Structure 1
Amino acid sequence: MQTPRQSLVVSIHDVSPLTQAVVHTMLADLADAGVSRTSLLVVPDHHKKAPVAHDASFCRELRNLVSCGHEVVLHGYYHLRPPKQTTLLKSLITEHYTAGEGEFFDLSQEEAAERLAKAKREFAENGLHPVGFIAPAWLLGAEAEAAVKDAGFQYTTRLQTFKDLATGREDLSQSLVWSVRAAWRRIISLGWNAYLLNRLGENPLVRIGLHPPDWSHPAIRRQVLRIVRATLAAREPITYEGWLHRARV
C-alpha cells in the first residue's frame, strides 16, 4: 500500500445559522492563508435554536461552499447534552471538559439512530449529503458509533484518530484545538499547539480543529493562521472526505 501524501485538514466546528457570520470571516482568513477547502461540521439544530432545515439561505450557502471544494460533515444534532445523574468521571467529561455539549457521548444506539436518520433526511431535502459524522467534542460512545456506521456514514474522527467506518482502519493524528473559555486555557493552548505541531511534523495527516469563539481572541487567531501558512509549505489542504479516499488508495 502506498503511503498517502502529506495532507492538512482544517475543520470548522459548530457551523450553524448561529455562527454563520463568524464562519464567513474564518473562511475568508483561511482562504487568504492558502486553505482552499475545509471540512464544515454542521449542527442540524444548534442548541435547539437554529434548525438548518428551515433556513433556505443558509442551506444554499452550504451548497455553494460544497461546489467550491468544501465538505459538509454532520456534527451531532443539537450539540447539547442535558445534565444526567451519572458517575463522577462522566460528569467531569460531559459537564466540565465539554460544558454540557457531549451529545453523543452516552446516547443509546436507538436514540442515536433516530437523530441521525432525522438529520440525514433534513439535509438530503436541502441538497446536502454528508459522508462523515463527527460527534460534538469528539465524544462518541460505542452504541452511538454503531448507529453512525449503520446509518451509512463512511468515517468519523476523535481527538486523536481518524476512523474509516467501512474498514475499521484508524489513522493516528491528534487534532490541534484551542480552548478559549478562560485566560489560562488560552495560554496553555498556545504553548501546547506549538509543541504538538512539531511532534506531528512527519505525520501523513495534520488536523486543525477550529471553533467560532477562537476568532474572538487575536492571539489564537494569529497563531492559527501562522501555523496554517507554515504547514502548507509542505502539505496539501484537503477535506476529511478527501483524506478518506486518499487513505483507501
Structure 2
Amino acid sequence: MSDRSAIEWTEATWNPTTGCDRITPGCDNCYALTLSRRLKSMGAAKYQSDGDPRTSGPGFGLTLHPDALEVPLQWKSPRMVFVNSMSDLFHARVPLDFVRQVFEVIAETPQHTYQLLTKRALRLRRLADQLDWPTNLWMGVSVESADQLDRVDDLRAVPAAVRFLSCEPLLGSLGGLDLDGIGWVIAGGESGPNHRSIEEDWVIEIRDLCKAAGVPFFFKQWGGRTPKAGGRELEGQIWSEMPDRIPACAS
C-alpha cells in the first residue's frame, strides 16, 4: 500500500498499527474496515490475519507492526503525515511502550509534521503525561455529534503543539462546541453506499464558530455514495485552511 494519501488535508499515511473496532456511531460505516477487506483480497501483508479473534472483519483485528516504525526514517523530503489512517494508536490494546516508540520516531524526524487522530480521547488524556510530546506532532480527536463533545475537553488537557478536531462524518449539530485551546477543525460528510446525510446548517455553524475564534477551518466534503460525489464548496467557497506547519528545523 502506497504511503501517499488521497486525503485532502494530508500528504502521506503511516500505519504502525492496523485494525480497530466500533466504539461510537461514527464508526458504523468505517472506511478503514472496508478498505482492509479489499487489501486482504489483494494480498497486502498487513491484512492477512486478525490480530485479535474478538474483533470482526477479516484482517482488521488490532495488530502492531514494529517493522513499520522505520518507515518515516526513510523519507528525506518534508511531508505532512497522517498517523494510523487504518487504526487508532490509543486503542486499549496498544501498549504504552509501543505508543512511546511511535512518538520517538516522530521526534527523530522533525522535517515531517505528523497528524494523529483518535476516538479514544479518555485514554489519550490518561496517557498524556506519560509521553514526551514532539513539537512536530498535531493531536486530534473525532467529534461526530454533540454526544462526543466531551472528547474536546480531554484533548484540551493534552500538551500537543496543535490540537485539532475531525468532525467527520458529521452526524449532527455541534452548537455547544467550545474551541478554546483548539488550533484546527476539519468537517465533512460521510461517503459510501450507506452514507448518512449531512445538513448545511451544521457545517455553517462550525465554520462560523471557527471564524469567531480565529481557528483554521477545513471543509473536506459533503459526502455521498462516492467520496467526491458531493463536492467541497460551502456557500460558494472552498474552505481549506490549515495551521502553520512546524518548521523543518524544529527539534
TM-score by length of 1: 0.46
TM-score by length of 2: 0.45
Q: Which one has more relative contact order, counting CA pairs under 8 Å at least 6 apart?
A: 1
Point out the structure with the larger helix share.
1
